[in-house]
Amino acid sequence: MSDLKQELKEKIITQLNLEDIAIEEIADNDPLFGDGLGLDSIDALELIVMLDKDYGIKLTDPKEGKKIFESIEIMANYIAAHRTK
Amino acid sequence: MKAQNLKIKDYCRISNNKVLLNDKLLFEDPTSDFTTFIKLAYKKMDTNYPKFFKMDDLSKLGFLATDILLKPMTQDPEMPKNIALVFSNSASSLQTDRKHQKSITDKENYFPSPAIFVYTLPNICLGEISIKHRLHSENSFFIFNHFNADYLHAYASSLIKTEKADEVLCGWINCDAEDYEAFLYLVSAEGSIAHKKEEIIKLYTTK
């Protein structure tokens, strides 16, 4: 699980172009949106595409993302339970 | 304000790995590619706007050139902010359009990126600038074959003459592959250069 969390942090920084943020600055329970990493609605859509492309998880309802993308911890748990690749 | 009394207050050029303000060199990095160059220029100009890194190349180019010209004005709450934006280019958002097209070509591997798709219009650049500088002004992005001083001159003059804007930031922001160029100038009541077509062409062609 810790490997998956590390992988997610790397992907989020790279794919969402978070130029000034280092992996070690993202705690597992930090909120990804709002006061945390400050991600926006386009980032949320990118994360939905990432789940599909990299882990074979299709979110049919974008509202599901609100809970799944709350933190790295929650995201990693969801991916581990639902991944098809 | 009479159109014939208008001036060009400041102008900024970003091309050939150089950033110039009123012909004064602010930054140069002759060896890097565009991605590295624009990132180094952003840091050198102390821009401090993390969303910059999420923008496409056209928006980065327009955003940085504008920031150099407008930051001293828009940071001051006393300064007027009715600054219209009138940009132009020949490539529209072609570079980003190609990236998006590439992501949707293979039906077996069909994962278009929302972050790329949102930049498949050139005027998104104007939105980024308006958000940063809190502008609620007129804005237009025209596509021409070449830099069209005549049109920009007439349009900027009209906006000020009809009191749609106090000042107009005009110019050319073009980006296609490694070929990029930004030339922006601020039309205002203040300044030492007359706002005339001949002067605009002279500034644009003096590289």
Per-residue pLDDT band at B80 (split at 50, 70, 90)? low
Domain range for A38 is 2-82
- State residue B11's pLDDT score: 98
**CATH (domain of A46):** 1.10.1200.10
Nearest to B12 by CA among B124, B171, B205, B134: B171
CA A5 to chain centre: 9
* Domains of chain B as residue ranges with CATH: 3-205 (3.40.47.10)
Per-residue pLDDT band at B148 (split at 50, 70, 90)? very high
Average pLDDT over residues B2-23: 91
* CB-nearest partner of A52 from B53, B111, B115: B111
Q: Do A46 and B113 touch (CB under 8 A)?
A: yes
Q: Is pLDDT at B138 greater than 90 in this prediction?
A: yes
Per-residue pLDDT band at B75 (split at 50, 70, 90)? confident
3-state secondary structure of B84: strand
Q: Do A19 and B50 touch (CB under 8 A)?
A: yes
Q: Give the ipTM.
A: 0.86
* CB-nearest partner of B115 from A19, A42, A53: A42
Mean pLDDT estimate for chain B: 93
A38 burial (CB, 10 Å; 0-12 / 13-18 / 19+) is middle
Nearest to B173 by CA among B77, B56, B104, B88: B88
B5, B12 Cβ separation under 8 angstroms: no
- For chain A, how many structural domains are there in total? 1
Give which of A18, A49, A54, A69 to mutate to test B binding, by max B Cβ within 10 Å.
A49
HSE toward the beta carbon, residue B84, CA cutoff 13 A: 24
Distance separating alpha carbons of residues A49 and B14, to the nearest angstrom: 34
Supply the DSSP symbol for B6. -
